Amino acid sequence: MRALLQRVHTASVSVEGKTIGAIGPGLLILICAMQGDTEAEADQLAAKIAKLRIFKDDAGKMNLSLKDTAGAALIVSQFTLAADTTRGNRPGFSPAASPEDGRRLYEYFSKVMQDHGIPVATGEFGADMDVSLTNAGPVTIWLDTKA
């Protein structure tokens, strides 16, 4: 699985002009299941993200995790993280999991994040979404379970 994390002050996602998910301080997590991914990759990624120390402590050092700060996660499916740009100028997305597997793993990942004690808001799988955020830092981190 692939994830792009953005540390945020606030983030929200809307579909057809209606906000369906919003958080205060925490992480916007753009997530993509890749071909061959299973629940094991989702478990691994969720555990890493919940414990990743990318929030500032009292000394201003990135030393606190999402759990430590009681931050929330806005989890948005993003199949374009699977983009293959090695040939030509138009990306291909064949490395992404099938829509059925992608939905299942997206929903599973969201549940596992909640199981880690993280408040979770979500987007709508497969929808055309508008995502807004106020990036904190900015801090943006790329994770890939295959890397």
Residue of 80, 93, 134, 140 marked active site: 80
Question: Under a CB-based contact definition with an 8 Å cutoff, are residues 131 and 31 in contact?
Answer: no
* Helix/strand number for the chain, H first, E second: 3, 8
125: annotated active-site residue: no
Residue of 55, 79, 109, 122 marked active site: 79
Distance from first CA to last CA of the chain, Å, rounded? 10
Residue of 6, 55, 78, 122 marked active site: 78
109: annotated active-site residue: no
78: annotated active-site residue: yes
How, if at all, do strands 55-56 and 62-64 pair? Answer: antiparallel
Fill in the DSSP letter of residue 34: B
Question: Under a CB-based contact definition with an 8 Å cutoff, are residues 75 and 113 in contact?
Answer: yes
CB-neighbour burial class of residue 89 (10 A; exposed 0-12, middle 13-18, buried 19+): exposed
Q: Which residues are catalytic?
A: 78-80
